[in-house]
Amino acid sequence: MVLATALSPTVPTTVAINNNIQTTTHHHRLLHLLNQCTSMSHLKQIHAHTLRTTSTAHPHTLFLHTRILHFSSLHHLHYALLFFHTHIQNPNSFAWNTIIRACARSSHRKQEAILLYHNMLCEGNVVPDKHSFPFVLKACAYLFAISEGKQLHAHIFKLGLDSDVYINNSLIHLYGSCGRLEDARQVFDEMPERSVVSWNVMIESLVQLNEFDDALMCFREMQESFEADGFAIQSILRACAGLGALSLGMWAHAYVLRRCSPELAHDVLVNNYLLEMYCKCGSLESAEFVFERMVKRDVTTWNTMIHGFAMHGRVLPALEYLKRMVDSGGLTPNSITFSGVLSACRHGGMVSEGRNYFNLMTTRYGIEPVLEHYGCLVDLLARAGLIVEALDVVSNMPIKPDGVIWRSILDACSKTGVGMEVSEEMAKRVMESEEGSGAYVLLSRVYAVARKWDEVGAVRKVMVDKGVAKEPGCSSIEIDGVTHEFFAGENEMSLSQI
């Protein structure tokens, strides 16, 4: 609104300032320079020149400043923020939106977008407009700032912007990424007008929260009014991967090849999702087929294949992919690559290879092992009966071991009959050192493995007395409206009704 006034022809076009520059022409010249500006140093020159030769009273100056703000935010956000705070005296909503957008798009200053929105309200003379909200909501979605998001939603109602498609799409995205499916759904259901983005965000939200069936239902409904695009296809492929829905996945694949643009069919991201879908659905041949025809591959492409083959026990092909990846050059294996490689070794019981790859990862590639890597290595060693070496790894690792690691050692102990005393001792030590219920579960497991049922009972009693009955290591299932619990550490399957 303010911007429209500033640019309207009723504004005098020949206001002269003391150095006799015809200012409107001057503003246009500066604007032209700005549009061609590519470097930060050039931008700083224009900035200095603008401050020297333009009057802040001139209605075009704010527009010019906002352009500087925009261009500098693309190169140097800190500079842009400084510029905003020191040189823009009375920002209009356009100027506010520009700086808020810059922060919302940056990787490290998202929270500043929300703060700036707050400042805009506090200044009191500017009202946020329909452009403001998508930016701030995006920042909220990233930060899981649901409480701020709710307040923004209230502001949106108050300002009568609740039928705007862009804003509603942003709201669905916010609620979806914060796990508030009911809220996302409500916005989606009640919005008066939907674009293809509305459907895509709703479907993506459902997929993210593992509501795969609902996602597919939503997708079918969408097709009554819109053509599926690349975004929708990606969500659908992930839903298929989650459900193991091979035939629908194949349909999506055919759709990509037949109905979408050639660029999309060659898109790395889309193809990576295709690989994942085929791998998760157990069709490794189709994954290979897609993989071999990909014109461009990234690290994720290779990782997906390595994991896919490892997951299905196809150990040698998985390791072969690593070799090909390294040989083809250009791409460096990362942490996830090695988690797949180690998991392949574990599946194949390849102890020395596993050790070698673990060393290769740390020494050659400088990758800091995380719990998953240690977990694979420990499990690999323990399964091979190398309990002492496995324990050695655990005691030397810089990360606190979790229940999964302990359990893999205990599993190995119970299967091989080795190291029973060690594990009992170890479980006791863990129990002494930490106050969680996990240690009790662990200890009762050790006793159960050792068939020392009296001790199992004693530990259970301590747990009940201390009120740690709701321990992890227990899963539940609802059958005919009745909840059943399965306790870890019991060899025979038992069903205890609660």
Q: Which of 128, 13, 16 is nearest to 60 (CA)?
A: 13
CB of 92 to DNA, least distance (A): 8
Distance of CA 335 to the CA centre of its chain: 17
Exactly one of 27, 101, 185, 253 binds DNA (CB under 7 A); that residue is: 101
Nearer to DNA by Cβ, of 26 and 173: the residue is: 173
Residues near 61 by Cβ (< 8 Å), separated by ≥ 6? 27, 50, 54, 55
Signed CA dihedral, 235, 236, 237, 238: sign only: positive
Binding pattern for the stretch 183-202 against DNA, x by CB under 7 A and - elsewhere: ------------xxxx-xx-
What does the DSSP assignment read for 397-460? -SSPP-HHHHHHHHHHHHHH---HHHHHHHHHHHHHH--SHHHHHHHHHHHHHTT-HHHHHHHH
Cα distances from 13 to residues 7, 22, 29, 59, 242, in angstroms, run: 10, 8, 14, 10, 63
Among 438, 448, 436, 387, residue whose Cα is nearest residue 413: 387
Give 374 or 447: the residue with its C-beta nearer to DNA.
374
- What x-and-dash track marks residues 345-384 binding DNA by CB under 7 A? -------------------------x-x------------
Instruction: Please select the residue that binds DNA; options are 106, 119, 283, 335, rule is CB under 7 A.
Output: 335
> Which of 186/335 has CB closer to DNA?
335
Only one residue has tokens 């979806």, namely: 176
CA atoms lying within 13 Å on the CB side of residue 238: 18
> How many residues lie near DNA (CB under 7 A)?
57
| Residue 339 engages DNA in binding (rule: CB under 7 A) | yes
> What's the Cα-to-Cα distance from 22 to each of 10, 32, 46, 231, 301, rounded to whole Å?
16, 16, 18, 50, 59
**DSSP state, residue 16:** B
Please report how close the Cβ of residue 433 comes to DNA at its closest, in angstroms.
25
Asked if 232 touches DNA (CB under 7 A), the answer is: yes
**Nearer CB in complex with DNA: 36/497:** 36
Instruction: Name the minimum Å distance from CB 145 to DNA.
Output: 11
**Distance between CA atoms of residues 223 and 199, nearest Å:** 10
Q: How far is the CB of 478 from DNA (least distance, A)?
A: 20
Interface of this chain with DNA, residues 199 to 228, rule: CB under 7 A: 200-201, 204
- Angstrom CA distances, 236 to 172, 220, 281, 284, 409, stand at 18, 10, 14, 19, 39
Question: Is 97 among the residues that bind DNA (CB under 7 A)?
Answer: yes
Beta-sheet strand order (sheet of 482-487): 474-479, 482-487, 496-497
| CB nearer DNA, residue 297 or residue 460 | 297
Determine contact, residues 179/185, Cβ cutoff 8 Å.
Answer: no
Cβ of residue 249: shortest distance to DNA, in angstroms? 15
State the CB neighbour count (10 A cutoff) for residue 491. Answer: 9
| Complex with DNA: residue 334 or 437, whichever CB lies closer | 334
Q: Which of 67, 153, 307, 445 binds DNA (CB under 7 A)?
A: 307
Smaller CB separation from DNA, 63 or 440: 63
Looking only at residues 430 through 469 of this chain, which bind DNA when binding is defined by CB under 7 A?
none
Q: Which of 162, 211, 229, 455 contacts DNA by CB under 7 A?
A: 229
Q: Using the rule CB under 7 A, which residue among 72, 73, 170, 444 binds DNA?
A: 170
Q: Tell which positions 236-295 bind DNA, by CB under 7 A.
A: 267-270, 272-273, 276
Q: What is the nearest approach in angstroms of DNA to the Cβ of residue 120?
A: 12
Q: Which two tokens stand for residue 243?
A: 């459900």
Between CA 274 and CA 260 the distance in angstroms is: 14
With CB under 7 A as the contact rule, the residue among 131, 155, 266, 314 that binds DNA is 131
- Nearer to DNA by Cβ, of 94 and 291: the residue is 94
| Residue appearing with tokens 């839903």 | 239
The answer to whether 7 contacts DNA (rule: CB under 7 A) is no
Of 44, 109, 130, 314, the one binding DNA by CB under 7 A: 130
CA 297 vs CA 197, 268, 270, 412: distances in Å: 28, 6, 11, 38
**Closest CB to DNA among residues 70, 460:** 70
Amino acid code (one letter) for 453: W
For residue 485, state whether it binds DNA (rule: CB under 7 A): no
Is 374 within 8 Å of 397 (Cβ atoms)?
Answer: yes
d(Cα 243, Cα 214) in Å, to the nearest integer?
Answer: 12
User: Among 17, 51, 311, 397, which residue interacts with DNA (rule: CB under 7 A)?
Assistant: 311
Residues that bind DNA (CB under 7 A): 3, 93-94, 97-98, 101, 107, 129-131, 134-135, 138, 141-142, 164-167, 169-170, 173, 195-198, 200-201, 204, 229-232, 234, 267-270, 272-273, 276, 298-300, 303-304, 307, 310-311, 334-336, 339-340, 343, 370, 372
